């Protein structure tokens, strides 16, 4: 059983949903993001998403865009982020790591080599934002061969005729995009979730995580209850960005701010 499947199974037995915080690798610099990563499990992260920056992130709102720009300026590369994961695994063997990014840097790295290196570094799953099932031919075979889960985004606009095909191509868990829009710009509504999560359940037995509109501990708790997990990204990045100095450098408050927020999110989810 993969780390991702094990984690969701254990949480199900506990009767609660998963907290999946996001951090952009190398934002604002390698050492700070590595320290945040190391601290996240103890702060209550059940799974962790690491963003791999791309110059043209067309599904992301301003907050994640700026995080990516800071990361690229700090020298982020796919190889560097895989090294971050490898270091993290020295001290943690149980928290699943999901790499989230865009296709072009992966193709440039070499899809087959990337999947092999990601697996060797200790990553568990991939989310490739601009790779719908129809365009998976260049990556999916290699991910499957390495036992990396390929996690798919499902949108509110994904209709019933399209849904089964997308779900069939998915493994690990389903990432439900809770808003029609880009990351961090709106909040998910309970009404949409109440309709769409059961609709997904009819077609899949995979766990469902909700992202793209989950900002507060209360929203995270609700998402983790309605579905199986909540992804929080922009809200954490905004607070981290606010902790930086005028030159965009980390301050003593940076790591503590982010991990404190993760703790608050976890507490809300645990309180259910």
Partner 1 sequence: MNKPVLPNSFRTGPDAAGRFGTFGGRYVAETLMPLILEVEEAYKAARADESFETEWRRLLKDYVGRPSPLWFAQRITEHLGGAQVWMKRDELNHTGAHKINAVLGQILLAKRMGKKRIIAETGAGQHGVATATACALFNLPCTVFMGATDVERQQPNVFRMKLLGAEVVAVTAGAATLKDAMNEALRHWVANVTDTYYCIGTVAGPHPYPMMVRDFQSVIGEEARAQMLEATGRLPDTLVAAIGGGSNAMGLFFPFLDDESVAMHGVEAGGHGLEIEGGHAASLTGGRPGVLHGNRTYLLQDAEGQILEGHSISAGLDYPGVGPEHSWLHDIGRVQYVAATDKAALDAFQLCSKLEGIIPALEPAHALAHVIEYAPTLPKDHIILMNMCGRGDKDIFAVAKHLGVEL
Site string for partner 1, 32-71 (x = CB under 8 A): ----------------------xxxxxxxxx--x---x--
Name which of 123 and 131 has its Cβ closer to partner 1. Answer: 131
Question: Is-catalytic flag, 228?
Answer: no
Q: Is 7 helix (H, G, I), strand (E, B) or coil?
A: helix
Stretch that binds partner 1, among 1-9, 16-24, 42-50, 175-183 (CB under 8 A): 175-183
Question: Is-catalytic flag, 49?
Answer: yes
Q: Is 97 helix (H, G, I), strand (E, B) or coil?
A: strand
Q: Measured between alpha carbons, how far is 265 from 222 in angstroms, rounded to an integer?
A: 11
- Restricting to residues 66-105, which ones interact with partner 1 according to CB under 8 A? 69, 72, 77-78, 102-105
DSSP assignment letter at 211: E
Name which of 41 and 105 has its Cβ closer to partner 1. Answer: 105
Name which of 154 and 230 has its Cβ closer to partner 1. Answer: 154
What length does the chain have?
272
Task: Decide: 224 and 265 in contact? Cβ < 8 Å.
Answer: no
Stretch that binds partner 1, among 22-30, 150-158, 188-196, 200-208 (CB under 8 A): 150-158
Q: Is 6 in the site for partner 1 (CB under 8 A)?
A: no
Q: Measured between alpha carbons, how far is 51 from 39 in angstroms, rounded to an integer?
A: 17
Query: In 234-246, which positions are buried (b, 16+ CB within 10 angstroms) versus exposed (e)?
Result: bbbbbebbebbee
Q: Is 225 helix (H, G, I), strand (E, B) or coil?
A: helix
Among 34, 166, 226, 266, binds partner 1 (CB under 8 A): 166
Specify the pairing of strand 125-128 against strand 149-150: parallel
Contact residues for 21 (Cβ-Cβ < 8 A; gap 6+): 40, 45, 48, 49, 231, 232, 233, 236, 262, 265
Q: Angle at the Cα of 226 (from 224 to 231), degrees rounded to 5?
A: 35
Catalytic residue among 46, 49, 117, 222: 49
CB of 218 to partner 1, least distance (A): 23
Q: Is 169 in the site for partner 1 (CB under 8 A)?
A: no
Distances (CA, A) of 6 to 18, 61, 63, 102, 185: 12, 32, 32, 27, 32
Q: Is 160 in the site for partner 1 (CB under 8 A)?
A: no
Q: Measured between alpha carbons, how far is 61 from 144 in angstroms, rounded to an integer?
A: 30
Among 14, 93, 134, 160, binds partner 1 (CB under 8 A): 134
Among 32, 158, 234, 257, binds partner 1 (CB under 8 A): 158
Among 39, 41, 181, 248, binds partner 1 (CB under 8 A): 181
Q: Is 204 in the site for partner 1 (CB under 8 A)?
A: no
Task: List residues near partner 1 by CB under 8 A.
Answer: 54-62, 65, 69, 72, 77-78, 102-109, 129-132, 134-135, 152-155, 157-159, 162, 166, 177, 179-182, 185-186
Q: Could you list the active site residues?
A: 49, 60
């Amino acid at each position: 059983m993969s780390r991702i499947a094990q984690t969701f199974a254990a949480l199900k037995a506990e009767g609660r949903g998963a907290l999946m915080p996001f951090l952009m690798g190398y934002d604002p610099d390698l050492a700070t993001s590595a320290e945040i990563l190391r601290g996240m499990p103890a702060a209550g992260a059940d799974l962790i998403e690491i963003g791999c920056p791309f110059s043209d992130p067309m599904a992301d709102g301003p907050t994640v865009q700026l995080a990516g720009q800071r990361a690229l300026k700090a020298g982020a590369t796919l190889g560097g982020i895989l090294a971050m994961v490898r270091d993290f695994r020295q001290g943690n063997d149980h928290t699943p790591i999901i790499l989230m990014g865009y296709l072009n840097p992966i193709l440039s790295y070499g899809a087959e080599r990337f999947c092999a290196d990601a697996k060797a570094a200790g990553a568990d799953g991939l989310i490739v934002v601009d790779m719908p099932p129809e365009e998976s031919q260049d990556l999916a075979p290699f991910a499957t061969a390495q036992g990396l889960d390929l996690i798919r985004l499902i949108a509110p606009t994904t209709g019933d005729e399209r849904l089964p095909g997308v779900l069939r191509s998915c493994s690990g868990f389903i990432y439900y995009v809770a808003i029609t829009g880009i990351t961090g710009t709106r909040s998910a509504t309970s009404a949409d979730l109440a309709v769409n999560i059961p609709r997904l359940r009819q077609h899949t037995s995979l766990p469902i995580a909700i992202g793209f509109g989950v900002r507060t501990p209360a929203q995270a708790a609700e998402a983790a209850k309605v579905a199986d997990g909540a992804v929080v990204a922009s809200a954490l990045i905004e607070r981290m960005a606010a902790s930086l100095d005028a030159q965009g450098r980390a301050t003593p408050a940076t790591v503590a701010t982010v991990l404190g927020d993760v703790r608050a999110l976890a507490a809300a989810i645990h309180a259910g």
